Each structure stands twice: as C-alpha cells, then as structure tokens.
Structure 1
Amino acid sequence: MSLSVELKDLEDLTSNAKQIQDDVLKEILTLNANTEYLHRFLNGSTDKDLFKKNVPIVSYDDVKPYIERVANGEPSDVISGGPITRFVRSSGTSGGKQKIFPTNDKYSEKLGYLMALSSLVISKHFNGNVSHKGKKMGFLYNRLETKTPSGLLVSSAFATYFMSDYFKNRSSKCNLEYTSPDQIILCIDINQSVYCHLLCGLSQRDKVVGVCATFAYALVQAINVLQISWTELSNNIRSGQVSEWITDLDCKNAVSTILGGPNPELADVIEQECSHKSWEGIITRLWPKAKYIECIITGQMAQYVPTLEFYSKKLPIVSPMYGSSESLFGINLDPLSKPQDVSYTFVPDFSYFEFLPVDHEGDIVDLVDVKLGCYYEPVVTNYFGLQRYLIGDILQVTGFYNATPQFRFVRRKDMVLSVDVETTTEDDILKALARAALVLESSSYMLMSFTCYADISTCPGHYVFYWELKAKDGKDVVELDEKVLVECCSALEESFDALYRRFRSHGIIGALEIRVVQQGTFDSLMEYFVSQGGSIAQYKTPMCIKSSEAFALLESKVLARFHSEQSPPLEF
C-alpha cells in the first residue's frame, strides 16, 4: 500500500477547512455514536449541535476506565465504533506518566501522509526538490512492542508507523531516501541502531543533504555517540568490516552492503575531522553537502537549539510537524523560519478540532473561528474513541494559510514551576535559559541538557535546575568555574516575571540553585524513561521533573551546587 501525496492536496484541504471539518465530525459521529461512551450523551444522534451541547470536554482520567476495559479484552465498541487493533503509548515525559490510546491502521496511514506532505514542503524550499539529489541521514528508531492483557499491541506512534505497511511501501517521490536501510530503523537495540545509522551516514557522506530525527534530543545523542565512537567507526570504514558487537544480523548484513569493502581514504577524512580540538561545525565538516537539520525543535526541544547550531555551524533547523499520541495536527509550511518563530498549519482532515480559550472566558470555537493572536487549548475528537479530549498544550494563533489557521506552540499547560502563587511557564524557562546561555558563551562550557523542579522541602522554597555541561573542545569538564555558574543563576532569576522577583526580594522564594551533574546523566535519564515503556524515537527530556525515581537518579549524579548570591532587580 503506497500513499499518493501532492502539494496541491494541501491547497485543497486548507481552502475548504470548514466543510472538511464538518464532514470529519459527521464521519466520526456516524462511526462512534452508538458506542457505550458516546451513546449516553447522544442517544445515537450524529447532530453537531447536540454533540457540542451534550458531550463534555474530558481529560485522560475521564476516559481511562473505558480505554482500560478494551485493553483488558472487552469489545472495541465500549469506546470506538471502528476496530481497535492496537494502542499508541505516549512518551510520559510531559505529564509525568505514560498513557495509552486506542487506534488502528488509520493512524499509521495518517502519520505516513503527514510525513510525506512535510517532506514535499521541505524539498520545495531547498533547491526546489532535493529528492533526486541526495539522501537524509535519519536517526530513526524502533522499539519492541508490548501487549495489553487481551493481547493487543502497544507501541509508540513512530514505532507503530515503522512497523506498518505504510512505512514499508512509502513512495520515494514523497520521502527523501535515507542513508540507512529499513533494517537499521527497525532494529530494537538502540545502541546497535544509532551506531549503524552513523556508519551508513559516514559511508555515504557525499550524498547527505539533510540530517534528521523525530526530536532534537535524538540528534544530540547521536553526536555524543559519534564523539565516543569515531575511532571505531573510521576503523570499520577502513577495513570494510562491521564491529563484532553488532549482533543483529539484519543490521550487520545491511551495513556491510552499504560499506561495500575497505575505504581507507574516507577513513582518513573522518579521523582528520574528528581529531580537531573543537567539534564546532562537525556536522558540516563530515557531511559537507548537508543543507539543513530536520527535527521537532519546539516546546521542550528548544533547549537543544544552541547545541545543534554549534555542531552544524548554524545550518537551518527545520521543525517539520506538530502531533501527539492523541492526534496529528499539522505541518510547518515555512521550513526556513527560525526555531522560535515556527508555526504549524493544521491539516483539517486528521481529526475534528475545537479550541478552548486559555482563560476559559468565552465559548469553545471551531478550527476556522479562532482569532489571530489569541491563545487556546486544542480539544480533539478523533476516529478511535477520543471525544472532546483536552490535549493540554497552549497554542497561539499566528496567521492563516488560505482558510486554515496556523499556530505557534507555546507550552504544555501543566509545565510550570511554582513555590507560592507565582507561575513560571515553560516559555518563561526557555527564555531564562537563553539569557543564561549568553553568560556561558564567554566560558569554555556548553549546556548539553537541563531539567528543573520547585523544591518546597526547603524554607523558603526555591527553583532547582539540573545542568549537564560539556567543554567546547569536546573534553570532559574538569573544573567548574564558580563565578560563571553563580552568574548563570542570577541570569536565570533576572529573566523571571515581576511576581517572582518580588517574592524573591521579600524572602518568600529562596535563591535559585544550579546543580551540575555528571556527563551522561541525561542519557541515563532517557534510559530510565525508555525502560518504563517509552520510546527513544519520541523521547523528550522532561523540562520539569515529576517522577520521584527520575529525581533520585539526578540527585545521585550531582557534582556541585551553585546559588544566586543576590535577589534579582525588581525592574528590568
């Protein structure tokens, strides 16, 4: 089964958004009106007005009992009029716990369509169409599927797609070919997979026009592996033989074919570039024809923008799409926009979309009725049993493409720090990090990863940031400069709002603290979340720590602690 995708599809969809959304809701209600969940509100009706009047807006806890009943073996029509053949698992790094959502092959079809459409948009912006002029080095990963008590498969959204016919039969016209064959993408051993991705990408360095992953973290992790393993990788290329520890035979055979025998000249180039004292621009030095980085870089992933810019010598970073386990939403039609300016154009035939004003003052509105500049929480009704489900993201309307709105991702609704009544949002944290990064620029350090939490066990409570640092020359950080890190504490505090600064000056909030952790700590954090059933393909470093196990892991890795020495000024 292959997908036929053309850019004119987008014109048709976005020009007729209102009618398409009405048709989508009608189709969903016709399919689901007699489910146990929906029948009690609609009594079998498919009327839009009755749907809006009677069906409540819900969170996961409201629908979890119905989902669990299907997972435990009850018929799909508990919640869905269509067949439930598997479940999609959320990453669990945003809200602190994993969720599962009912789905079937239609989800994979829609994800494949979204990726193909996004690929066409990106191709159009880089030399017209790069699909016949090179390949993408993609760090894409699979994960072993689990099963519910009733035997239904459970996996991440991307793993679901990679295992589907829509991925295996994808059209080369819509997707730039990857340097890695499918055997490497489908490998369930993350260590073997990332190494083989690098080996294939290095072997085809002159063909790479784009470097991609689902989320930014996976790219940063791949560069870390390259930094550790470049000698072994170059030895493999020099000899034409794959390392013995690569035991996945499908991977090994596929990579051996890509290597095609010894290549000492290429090995010399890799060794020369990786031996430089600084790894600044290593991506463009190893892959000189690379034109862009492609990964989701909005929201929590924005913390990795400076790192990727350092390694790529500021290649354009394309944030291609916006989606979640609950629903797919839309794509970025301006790939060259700066990470902080990325907006996503909703694709109106994925789900039925409504929008709740953030202040909850005003009625919930349809997709085409949102207002420019206003902030909303998206409410999703999908084909698989979620009815008026509140996603928990905060979006701002930035414009319209034809009749369809475009949104900027602002933050997760529940991603906040608070000691008293002040509210520090995800957006506030990222702006503060950008200010602290200016302090680090004059030092020998790079901030690799961070997370934070509000410590209310102290009196007064205070904000704690865990930072993993790395020397710009690629070496381990040996000595920590107390002056620089104390200044970073102050820079963070000075970026927060007036209420925070007032509480800080009055002693209601204590001095902000940076706890520097050992190198590799955030890899361990990722491994912990993946061990809980998450997927490396959709892993996002949690901006705020909520898990006690994750907190204990971070605390065990702390090297040093630094505090701001004075309250921030009350006025900027």
Structure 2
Amino acid sequence: MNQYVSDLDKGKALHFLFIKAESKTPGGLLARPVLTSYYKSEQFRKRPFDPYNVLTSPNAAILCPDSFQSMYTQMLCGLIMRHEVLRVGAVFASGLLRAIRFLQLNWDQLVHDIQTGTLNPKVTDPSIRECMSKILKPDPELATFIKTECSGENWERIIVRIWPNTKYLDVIVTGAMAQYIPTLDYYSGGLPKPCTMYASSECFFGLNLKPMSEPSDVSYTILPNMGYFEFLPHDDDSPVTLSRDSPPRLLDLADVELGKFYELIITTYSGLCRYRVGDILQVTGFHNSDPEFRFVRRKNVLLSIDSDKTDEAELQKAIENASELLKEFNTSVVEYTSFADTKSIPGHYVIYWELFMKDSSHSPTSEVLNKCCLAMEESLNSVYRQGRVADNSIGPLEIRVVKNGTFEELMDYAISRGASINQYKVPRCVNFAPIMELLDSRVVSSHFSPAAPHWTPERRI
C-alpha cells in the first residue's frame, strides 16, 4: 500500500477489531474464528513495533469479549487521536458501517467522557479502565467539536469530517460486501476502498497487486506457496458434482484458462485435503505466468449480511419449519423470495411471503407471523444466530406478506423482459430495483422476529 499511498508510517490506523465467542468440539478441541485466534496469540499481543501498523485501539479493547465495551473504547480512542488517523476500517464493510451507527447512537456519552476525562461506567473491564486512565484526559475543545459534528441531521462525509487525514478505507468490499459501497461513499465522501488481499480461515490465497483499482475491477494474484491450489471448472447451467465413483478432472494452477470460471479447491499445510472453499472465481489475466482471479461469488449463497452465508436449501428448510405454525389456520406459503436489506444498520433478512388461506375469517394473527420470523431464525445456521445474538451484526428477520397474485405479476414481468415461460423459476433472492418496487408495492403487512434466536458459544460448530 505504501507504493500507492505515501506516509502511512506517519500516523495510525483506526481499525475496529473484535474477538468472537469460542466453542469446543465434542472431543474438547477449541474452535474459534481465525482472527480471534490471532488476536489472542502472543504474535499479536506482543508484536514488535511496526510504523506501518500502529493502531489507535489498545489491545485490551480488542480482546474484550463484550462487544459494547470493545466498540465504545475503540471509538473513544479513535476520536481522541483523530488527527493521527490515516486510515479507517474493519474486516468487512458491514463492520465499519456498524461502527458509524454506534457513533450515531452513543456520541453524547463519548462527548461526556472527552469533556470530563472520565470513562463511561458501562465500561467495567479492568484492563480497559487501566489503559484508558493513561489515554483519556479532559479535552473540552474536542468534545465541542464532536458534539457539533454528530448532533446534526447531516452525516454525509462524517468520516473525513471527524478524521480529516484519512487516506482510504481499509475494508473488504468485494463479493457480498459490494452492496455496502454506496453507503460507504456517502459517509466517506468517496474515499478509495482498496481490497488488498484474498484470504479465509482455511488459507491465505492471494494479493491484489493493484490495490487502488475500483472494487468492481479487483483481481487477486494467487500466491502458490500458501497451499496447493486446484480448480474445478464451473458452469451454472450444468454444475459439477464431486463423487468418488466419477471424480471430475481438477485443473492445476498452471492449467486454468483466461475468462473461464472455477470453483477453488485447496490442500493446506494444516491438513485440509482437496477442501472445497465454496468460492467461484474467474480468470482475468496473468502476472508473469501466475493467474489472476476475480472473486465472483460464494457458491449457492443467497443471503449474506456480515460473515453469515445462507443458501437456498437452508432458506427452504427454514420456511418449511416456520410454515408449521400456519397449519392450524389452514394457511400455507404459496411462494416466497428474499433479499438482504442493508439500508438499515445492522442489515437484516427480508422474506416475501404469498399466503394461501382456506378460511379468510380464521387467518394467522400478527403475533403468529412474528413467531414465524423467529422460527425461521431458529432454523438458520450458527454463524447467522451468533451475528444476531452475540455480535449484533444482523438485525431481526422480517417477513413481508404480499397480496395474492403478486408472484404471477413477477413472472409476467420476467416474461416481458424475455424470460421463457417454460423455463421460468421464481428467484429465491432478488435485488433488481424494479422487482423490489413491484414486491414492496404489494405488501399488506410486515412482521419482525420478536426475540433473538437461541445461540450459545458451547454449541458444536
């Protein structure tokens, strides 16, 4: 990055970093996200000084398991050191937007702390209180500035207004995170959003050698020494199924072809053998002879707000389970579709239902439909439920009931745009503006999950 942005060693990074809950396997092995493992390691806690990687957040705040105390402290430090901040970020774009929303909701308490030099009593972690006693001093001038910026209605360019020396946003905005780009541009005034690396918990894959390119143009050069990479040719019209009886031919890194799509298969030093990552990639070029890939999407994923991934089969099962609550009303779900609503922070799943009621005088009540929302959430995977319960990164699921005949109108619209009436299938996830407008114009009632779903860190991963 220093080849493209100068003087990154002359300031600090405001990165909102968090640990997540841990669990144990039935055999007693610790299971946790890779970043949680790293932040808790001695390599992070006792890392040597690096002028290019100085954080505003103290280790105590990053390692605090309480999300409110951690976010509050990291935001407070970022405000105190606002002139030293050269880049602002989080792991995912959704995480940075969650931090901005946190500032919107808590700026008055933060201003009080800066004004008085005292720490909010809600922050009870002893390690945080100890380190903040050395950082937090009364600063009435800064408190007045923050109050002036945050108390108004206009939050456009709030990032560069509060942190005026910010050179870029350090967040992932490819794949499902691309949906947050317009909101990030609004809050940052269009700051660059370099995507520097391509990695997962299983393996580090590659680097973006042109980090300042637009998110839609990002390609990653695979680092062949990070693992053994193989590629399964991918075609949406005729998906390949792996089986022992007739295994498909996997291609080596040197054999992929320009423009073609592949599913990534990895064998790692830590013991994964021919592991299907679930990412669909497209070859966009070559760096010398090393292929460069564009991340296209996660395979079979319909909905994603943060680190959650929900596919069609899981969504279908969740709807089937929720539909059980409708049987006593002689009501069933005729059709459905969905989308990930990221206009609010945090974002949430929206499910459109068209219902068939045999007896309109005995229709399901609003309370029952709210319970259907919760039943769906209880049926979704543990990553989703952790986002709802522990991380507060996902809002309550919403069901929007639409008028009868809505999905026929949806089909008519698709056919008018050239779809074949013989091959038309209801899309299980939508994001095309005209379709969204059609669906929303037919909504007769909206319902939200009345409580958080069950989730505990001891649950098996």
Equivalent residue, structure 2, for 1:130: 8
- The alpha carbon displacement at 1:343 in A equals 1.4
Aligned match of 2:131 in 227, 239, 254?
254
How far, CA to CA, are the matches of 2:225 and 2:232 in structure 1?
20
Equivalent residue, structure 2, for 1:296: 172
Question: Is the Cα contact below 8 Å between 2:229 and 2:265 reproduced in 1?
Answer: yes
Q: Secondary structure at the match of 2:225?
A: coil
Question: Is the Cα contact below 8 Å between 1:215 and 1:539 reproduced in 2?
Answer: no
How far, CA to CA, are the matches of 1:338 and 1:332 in structure 2?
11
Amino acid at match of 1:371: E
How far, CA to CA, are the matches of 2:4 and 2:220 in structure 1?
16
Question: Is the Cα contact below 8 Å between 2:301 and 2:311 reproduced in 1?
Answer: no
Question: Is the Cα contact below 8 Å between 2:168 and 2:192 reproduced in 1?
Answer: yes
Amino acid at match of 2:142: L
Aligned match of 2:287 in 355, 379, 401?
401
How far, CA to CA, are the matches of 2:287 and 2:390 in structure 1?
30
How far, CA to CA, are the matches of 2:16 and 2:123 in structure 1?
17
Aligned match of 1:217 in 94, 106, 118?
94
The alignment status of 1:410 with 2:296, answered yes or no, reads yes
How far, CA to CA, are the matches of 1:408 and 1:535 in structure 2?
30
Q: Secondary structure at the match of 1:461?
A: strand
Distance 1:197 1:560, change over 3 A: farther
Q: Could you give the per-residue CA deviations for residues 139-175 of structure 1, whole angstroms, max 9, x where no partner exists?
A: 0001343333444322111001111122234344374
Decide which structure has greater helix share. 1
- In the superposition, the TM-score normalised over structure 1's length comes to 0.56
Equivalent residue, structure 1, for 2:68: 191
Q: Could you give the per-residue CA deviations for residues 425-484 of structure 1, whole angstroms, max 9, x where no partner exists?
A: x9xx9xxxxxxxxxxxxxxxxxxxx9996779767534233536459xxxxxxxxxxxxx
* Gaps in structure 2 of 5+ consecutive residues: 242-247, 324-331, 346-351, 353-369, 420-461
Equivalent residue, structure 1, for 2:251: 365
Question: Is the Cα contact below 8 Å between 1:323 and 1:330 reproduced in 2?
Answer: yes
Aligned match of 1:389 in 275, 280, 288?
275
How far, CA to CA, are the matches of 1:275 and 1:528 in structure 2?
39
- In the superposition, the TM-score normalised over structure 2's length comes to 0.69
Equivalent residue, structure 2, for 1:335: 211
How far, CA to CA, are the matches of 1:354 and 1:395 in structure 2?
12
Question: Is the Cα contact below 8 Å between 1:380 and 1:388 reproduced in 2?
Answer: yes
- The alpha carbon displacement at 1:534 in A equals 6.8
Question: Is the Cα contact below 8 Å between 2:302 and 2:311 reproduced in 1?
Answer: no
Q: Could you give the per-residue CA deviations for residues 301-338 of structure 1, whole angstroms, max 9, x where no partner exists?
A: 11111111111111111222222222221122222111
Q: Could you give the per-residue CA deviations for residues 368-392 of structure 1, whole angstroms, max 9, x where no partner exists?
A: 2211111111111112221111211
Coordinate RMSD, CA, aligned: 3.6
How far, CA to CA, are the matches of 1:333 and 1:470 in structure 2?
33
Aligned match of 1:570 in 406, 417, 423?
417
Q: Could you give the per-residue CA deviations for residues 511-534 of structure 1, whole angstroms, max 9, x where no partner exists?
A: xxxxxx9xxx9xx99x99569567
Amino acid at match of 1:333: L
- The alpha carbon displacement at 1:194 in A equals 0.7
Q: Secondary structure at the match of 2:226?
A: coil
Question: Is the Cα contact below 8 Å between 2:266 and 2:276 reproduced in 1?
Answer: yes
How far, CA to CA, are the matches of 2:183 and 2:196 in structure 1?
19
- Residues 133-144 of structure 1: matches in 2 within 5 Å? 133-144=10-21
Q: Secondary structure at the match of 2:263?
A: strand
Q: Secondary structure at the match of 2:55?
A: coil
* Identity %, equivalent residues: 42
Aligned match of 1:325 in 185, 194, 201?
201
- The alpha carbon displacement at 1:123 in A equals 2.5
Distance 1:387 1:137, change over 3 A: same
Aligned match of 1:312 in 156, 169, 188?
188
Number of aligned pairs?
357
- Residues 492-571 of structure 1: matches in 2 within 5 Å? 553-555=396-398, 567-568=412-413, 569-571=416-418
Aligned match of 1:467 in 341, 357, 380?
341
Distance 1:309 1:536, change over 3 A: farther
Distance 1:451 1:197, change over 3 A: farther
Amino acid at match of 1:415: V
- Residues 140-179 of structure 1: matches in 2 within 5 Å? 140-173=17-50, 175-179=52-56
How far, CA to CA, are the matches of 1:406 and 1:352 in structure 2?
16
- The alpha carbon displacement at 1:540 in A equals 8.1
Aligned match of 1:239 in 84, 101, 116?
116
Question: Is the Cα contact below 8 Å between 1:209 and 1:290 reproduced in 2?
Answer: yes
- The alpha carbon displacement at 1:255 in A equals 2.4
- Residues 271-290 of structure 1: matches in 2 within 5 Å? 271-290=147-166
Q: Could you give the per-residue CA deviations for residues 317-370 of structure 1, whole angstroms, max 9, x where no partner exists?
A: 122222222222112222211122211121111111111111359832111221
Distance 1:377 1:193, change over 3 A: same
